[in-house]
Amino acid sequence: MFQNTSSRYSIDLNQIKSSCATCSLRELCLPVGLNDHEVHVLGEVVSHKRKIQRGGYLHRTGSKFQSLFAIRSGFLKTCVLEEDGRQQVTGFHMTGELLGLDAISTEIHTCDAIALEDSEVCEIPFAKLEEISRAIPSLMHHFHKIMSREIVRDHGVMLLLGSMKAEERLATFLLNLSRRFLMRGYSEFEFNLRMTREEIGSYLGLKLETVSRAFSKLQDENIITVDNKRIQINDIAKLRMKMGNSSCLT
């Protein structure tokens, strides 16, 4: 899992599970081939942990950027504020993901990051990361891949917002969550949403009532079972169909 063929050194997950550095850096480190020394160097950089309780801010729009944050546990949302007060959720983030990439550009955070459940992150001072990535090319390359992946993800959301209708958006969203839970060893068919209908709506470009109606519709069709925040996927194939055939109709 998360290993690529070019790895020179395969990290033993069990061995390092208790260490903050490596654990939180699953996405950042594991896939890269690092030797003992390099793992040690990297560990030095990411030693600082931080807990954020539900509802708390990891960072705010406008605050000075110094570090990236690797999510060690928990669940967060990022959102940008419009001048007029309304907020748009730009993403939901879970264990192993990296936050703060948007702030590298201006060294000012361009969004709020808010914990949707008690969470723990590892702080990665960005200047240090750049410094050691000079010494560890595979780390640098992997970091570039992570940034690139974020761009690809955003393009996917743009496609969703630009060309899908409500039900298709929700299906896409649920399948995305499902896959991410699966990747982390949780059930792909049954999970708890950490966010409200309003937050889902904000992310998907829909009003909360529309989100609620789309949930009900999918339930009526026996594709999912909804019990408030608890979601059960009964027919993942049908759910995939829902996602796929937007423009097929035209």
DSSP code at position 92: E
Between CA 170 and CA 221 the distance in angstroms is: 14
Cβ atoms < 10 Å from Cβ of 174? 24
In our burial notation (b when 16+ CB lie closer than 10 A, e otherwise), range 90-120 reads bbbbbbbbbbbbbbeeeeebbbbbbbbbebb
- For position 62 contacting its own copies by CB under 8 A, the verdict is no
Contact string (CB under 7 A) for DNA, positions 159-188, x = contact = ------xxx---------------------
> Among 32-40, 79-87, 91-99, 192-200, which window interacts with DNA (CB under 7 A)?
192-200
**Helical pair 208-220 and 197-204, crossing angle rounded to 10 deg:** 100
Identified binder of its own copies from the candidate list 40, 54, 149, 184, rule CB under 8 A: 149
Residue from the set 205, 208, 212, 238 that interacts with its own copies by CB under 8 A: 205
Nearest distance in Å: CB 2, its own copies: 14
Tell me which stretch binds its own copies (CB under 8 A): 45-53, 140-148, 224-232, 233-241: 140-148
Report which of 120, 122, 121, 118 is spatially closest to residue 55, judged by C-alpha positions: 118
Torsion of CA 59, 147, 194, 70, to 10 degrees: -60
| Contact call for residue 246 and its own copies (CB under 8 A) | yes
Q: What is the DSSP string of 63-86?
A: SBP-EEEEEEEEEEEEEEEPTTS-
215 belongs to the binding site for DNA (CB under 7 A): yes
Contact residues: DNA, CB under 7 A: 165-167, 193, 196-198, 205-213, 215-216, 226-229, 250
Contact residues: its own copies, CB under 8 A: 80, 82-86, 88, 90, 101-106, 110-111, 130-131, 133-134, 137, 140-141, 144-152, 154-155, 157-159, 161-163, 202-205, 244-248, 250
